[in-house]
Structure 1
Amino acid sequence: MMEMQESPQTPVVMAQLSWFFGIATIVKLLLIPSYHSTDLEVHRHWLAITHSLPLSQWYTDETSEWTLDYPPFFAYLERFLSMFAHLIDPQIVHLHHGLNYKANSAIYFQRMSVIVSDLFLLYGVYRSTLALASLKRNLIWLLVIWSPGLLIVDHLHFQYNGFLFGWLLLSLSFLAQGRDVMGGFLFAVLLCFKHLFAVAAPVYFVYLLRHYCRGGLVRGFARLSVMGAIVVAVFAAAYGPFVYHGQIQQVIRRMFPFGRGLCHAYWAPNFWVFYIMLDKGIAFLLRKFGFNIPAPVASFTGGLVGDASPFAILPQVTPLTTFIMVLLALSPCLFRTWKDPRPRLIVRSVAYAYTCGFLFGWHVHEKASLHFSIPLAIVAVESLEDAKHYFLLSIVSCYSLFPLLYEAQEYPIKVLLLLLHTILMWFSFSAQYSGSLRGDKKGGEKQGFEVGWVTKSYLIGVVVVEIWGQFLHPHLFGDKLPFVPLMLISMYCAIGILYSWIWQLKSILISS
């Protein structure tokens, strides 16, 4: 990250940050009565599991289809929250009678638990920006704390991503300050909360090995042993009780359900969208020419998932295939980190790792775009080019989440959130870069925050896709082909994410 430019008083910074957080909290409170997905029942049921059953049965219970599939630390968090839920309404944590319990007490308690847990995000942002100049610090607060993506996913759809990203930002802030042990410890804790963050583990491993474990064979081995002992201790605290009860294999099976298929019900905007459409296009043409091409067992255009022969022509994709592709995409970043393990590049590298996982991973959820859009908010203030990239990426990431809120009453909310975010970004970046110079320092020409015609054209395309899906398609086709608007959003946003991946790789390789 950036070098320290000023040393503000901590109380003053916290007071300013609290103002940002307070405004966001008011918006979150207003959104409590709004739409929520089945994830609210998922987490309510996890409260019931962890409250009603002994630890040895948490990962074997099948009372509901919403079985516990997060790592143990998140299960411990649910157990902690369940104690308060039981005091408010015992029905919330009743394992059998509480199925699909939708009383206001349950909804309000769970909504408030997410809002309170966002205090971890607040502290993570605080530590990540304390050494920055006030303008850059405020800009990052705006991008993260007022993130429309986090509002949509956590406070409408319902999840606990703000809490988890708080841990990630804390870890990255310690690494950026050269405090590798604390950074590694916090990342290990994060992995025991949600294992999908493990995509960045190779970057952490290479970075810590080269940056922390340097200094000769003896000193390096001693430091490696210390870091290894810390990671082992964290994982022992998380998984040790389940090893004791003979449940560790069941825990692993729940955490990695590869049978769910390559794609989520709504396709995440990644590389596999193009692969699926290529397969369907080739199959369509061959059928037109008289070839007998059987239809795949799983119909992607129907929004279904499954891993039984989903492709008609192209080779089937397995979890191992996606794992290899993620590693191949990540390898240039790992080589660069090995060669040049600088703290100021770690946030870029971790964000790039999550972009690789999003583009090429197995059964990726559209919500996973937050994994790289949130860390990249820290990078966005480093240069004008970083700001331009983030401006486009954050809009694409937020727009790709629109299908999560499919009810009519939430449509104005998600549109207004994105429009307000876009306007605030534009004016904030313009304020920061109004005096930027094009060319050399002596004869440079002043420039403001402007995006090129390619970016403008692409963003106009976002508007066109939305108008088609929301207004023209229903008018022209009625209830026919209901998945086509979602498919168009996935494909169009996938182009933007693919561009971001290439841009990030280039920025890492040429960073000086």
Structure 2
Amino acid sequence: MRELWWYIGVVTCLKLLLIPAYHSTDFEVHRNWLALTRSLPLCQWYSDETSPWTLDYPPFFAFFERFLSFFASLVDPKIVHLHEGLNCKSPTAIYFQRLTVIASDSCLFYAIHRLARNFGPIRRNLLWILVAWSPMLVIVDHIHFQYNGFLLGLLLLSISFLMEGRDLAGGFIFAVLLCFKHLFAVAAPVYFVYLLRHYCWGRGLLKGFFRLSVMGITVISVFAAAYGPFAYHGQIQQVLLRMFPFGRGLSHSYWAPNIWVFYIILDKMLVFMLRKLGFSFNPPISSFTGGLVGDVSSFSVLPKITPLTTFIIVLIALSPSLINVWSKPQPKSFSRWVAFAYTCGFLFGWHVHEKASLHFVIPLTVLAVQNLEDAMHYFLLSIVSCYSLFPLLFERQEYPIKVLLLLLHSLLMWLGFSYLYRKTELCEATVAANKLGGPHKASSSGEFKICSMTRIYLFGLVIIELYGQFLHPYLLGNDLPFLPLMMISTYCALGMTYSWIWQLRQIIRL
């Protein structure tokens, strides 16, 4: 247990050192949520427009902000002042909000502890290193500013209960998670099919119906606790409108590295070719490279993509996993199914943020410390996902931080996986030797290795980074400022697409 506190202490010290670092507009978003939940009655939380950063998370997160606002008012009343506190960047506000993120990570630490306690010491320590010291969480939560560690802690808690066969507890925690952040709902079909098949089905008619009723009542009770107060005030429609702002368009201002990157680029290429042939376009060409938030879902040549289209595509992409869940509802495979679901949502979803890659990278860590193939896949995916977050930190003073975080993470992965699987092979060889009564050489096939294609692809990340940081400003100056971001999104989208195909193959093989 002492080494676990050591991991927590090291990463907490790093987070404390990063308190003065750059923070995004998400910092003001959450400060405004502190103010409006403290200053306004509940019936006005989802209709207030004092700030452009309106409340758009589910009710439990609003209650969480309300809870934090009590302490914020004691630290500095201006933090929770709805009007005077706008764009508040006082040292007390910065320290308070940063410390709330650090404190909320205790949920993540407890979830890691629950998951790792059934592993051997090497696997347990490696899981702590890869999750608790995740550079993606440091970049997104403790520099850019969000509460993903807390939310992912709830997800891992749910997975840990389900892997132990405690289905009711796992379903309850996932329902709670959905009432904190609805974007986790992409995995809801997996949970529904698994719990129906594993918890309710095949238990006999009466017992199965009883279990289904218990699970249904549990989930409904969670949602009633979250949305009931707003239903009482007639605010449900307003809450849902805020939670699902489909007018924001297919792509975020910085393209998440998913399948729609290729769709957008194809549209641009067709426009270029048709213009050369003398065609004109009315309305004007869509501006996906403007770097602005807004409705950027229109295309000049290709058909427009609607939210319903992306929803159907995600379900189709997810269907092999759902079939597998129903046919082979094994608790040990649940983390894989959840990760695949979030990969589908990331790759094919509507208005995906680049930060959503955390939703599948973190659950895949559980598999990486148990299986060699998963470890080699995770090595590539975690590097690509972390690098895709680099544009979030665009100020010069944070550049060395994000580079060092990624390099350190890559080194720890390499050393950790190499030691883990080499040690495992040696142990297996010793056991085999004892059984055979003689020496037995460990097979090199069990060693952690990176194939040549992976090395070439990762080297491409280095080339793109060197171009964006050094060559682009020298060659083009201020022209085409969005080009380096487009290159990062496109190249990382190749890695993400490969990951989805790889995960699909593993699920089919189960």
User: TM-score, normalization: structure 1?
Assistant: 0.95
Deviation at 1:308, TM superposition (A): 6.4
Contact 1:261 1:362 in 2 (8 A): yes
Per the TM alignment, residue 289 of structure 1 is displaced from its structure 2 partner at its CA by 1.2
1:276 matched to 2:264? The reply is yes
Instruction: Give the equivalent residue in structure 2 for 1:472.
Output: 471
- For residues 224-249 of structure 1, give each alpha carbon's deviation from its aligned partner in whole angstroms, at most 9, with x where no partner exists: 10000000000000000000000000
SS across alignment from 2:444: strand
Look up the match of 2:407. 419
Aligned equivalents of 1:17, 1:396: Cα separation in 2: 27
State the secondary structure of the residue aligned to 2:467. Answer: helix
2:118 and 2:285 mapped to 1: Cα distance? 55
What is the deviation of 1:387? 0.5
Question: How far apart are the structure 2 equivalents of 1:443 and 1:322?
Answer: 51
Counterpart in the other structure of 2:376: 388
| Structure 1 partner of 2:10 | 23
| Aligned-partner Cα distance in 2 for 1:473–1:374 | 33
Map 1:442-453 → 2, pairs under 5 A: 445-447=443-445, 448-453=447-452
Distance 1:40 1:306 in 2: 20
**Preserved CA contact (<8 Å) 1:282 1:313:** yes
The answer to whether residue 220 in structure 2 is matched with residue 232 in structure 1 is yes
| Contact kept in structure 2, 1:296 and 1:310, CA below 8 Å | no
Q: Secondary structure at the match of 2:136?
A: helix
User: Post-superposition shift, 1:488?
Assistant: 0.3
Residue 63 of structure 1 aligns with an amino acid whose one-letter code is T
What is the rounded CA distance, in whole Å, between the counterparts of 1:23 and 1:435 in structure 2? 26
Distance 2:34 2:70 in 1: 9
Shift of 1:436: 5.8
Give the drift of 1:309: 6.0
Aligned positions of 1:343-382 closer than 5 A: 343-382=331-370
2:496 is matched with 497
State the Cα distance separating 1:435 from its structure 2 match. Answer: 4.6
> Whole-Å Cα distance in 2 between the matches of residues 420 and 303 of structure 1?
30
Q: Please name the residue that 2:437 is paired with.
A: none
Match of residue 508 from structure 1: 507
Who is 2:88 aligned against? Answer: 101
C-alpha separation in 1, matches of 2:424 and 2:156: 28
Output the CA distance in 1 between the equivalents of 2:115 and 2:229.
34
Contact 1:298 1:304 in 2 (8 A): no
Given the superposition, is the C-alpha separation of residues 295 and 180 from structure 1 closer, same or farther in structure 2, using an over 3 Å criterion? same
* Residue 387 (structure 2) aligned to one of 378, 385, 399: 399
Checking the alignment, whether the CA contact within 8 Å between 2:50 and 2:83 is kept in structure 1 is: yes
Q: Which residue in the other structure is 1:485 paired with?
A: 484
Deviations along 1:282-335, one digit per CA (max 9) or x if unpaired, are: 111111111223465641111134436620111100000000000000000000
Identity among equivalent pairs (%) = 66
Alpha-carbon contact 1:50-1:75 (below 8 Å) kept = yes
2:281 to 293, 315, 318: 293
1:130 matched to 2:117? The reply is yes
Tell me how far 1:433 sits from its aligned partner.
1.2
**Contact 2:342–2:360, Cα closer than 8 Å, also in 1:** yes
Instruction: Tell me the CA shift for residue 77 of structure 1.
Output: 0.3
Q: Name the CA distance, whole Å, in 2 between partners of 1:228 and 1:188.
A: 11
Structure 1 residue corresponding to 2:28, chosen from 41, 49, 53: 41
Of 443-452 and 63-72, the range deviating more from structure 2: 443-452
Q: What are structure 2's unaligned runs of at least 5 residues?
A: 433-439
Q: Letter of the 1:423 partner, please give it.
A: L
| Residue matched to 1:64 | 51
- Between stretches 396-405 and 288-297, larger displacement belongs to 288-297
Aligned to 1:239, what secondary structure does the other structure show? helix
1:113 match: 100
- The answer as to whether partners of 1:148 and 1:417 remain within 8 angstroms in 2 is yes
* Equivalent AA in structure 1 for residue 453 of structure 2: V
Aligned equivalents of 1:509, 1:140: Cα separation in 2 = 26
Q: Give the Cα–Cα distance (whole angstroms) in 2 for the partners of residues 384 and 342 of structure 1.
A: 20
- 2:305 maps to 1:317: yes
> In structure 1, how many angstroms separate the alpha carbons of the residues matched to 2:377 and 2:342?
16
Q: Secondary structure at the match of 2:337?
A: helix
Per the alignment, in what secondary structure is the counterpart of residue 484 of structure 2? helix
Structure 1 stretch displaced more, 15-24 or 74-83: 15-24
Change (3 A) 1:319 1:364: same
CA distance in structure 2 between the aligned counterparts of 1:304 and 1:312, rounded to whole angstroms:
18
288-297 or 193-202, which deviates more: 288-297
Bigger shift: residues 214-223 or 178-187 = 214-223
Q: 1:406–1:308: structure 2 CA closer, same or farther, 3 Å change rule?
A: closer
**Equivalent residue for 2:237, pick from 249, 271, 285:** 249
Aligned-residue offset at 1:221: 1.0
For the 8 Å contact 1:262–1:305, the answer to whether it is kept is no
CA contact (8 A) 1:199 1:353 kept: yes
Question: Which residue identity does 1:445 align to in structure 2?
Answer: S
- Cα RMSD of the aligned pairs, angstroms, is 1.5
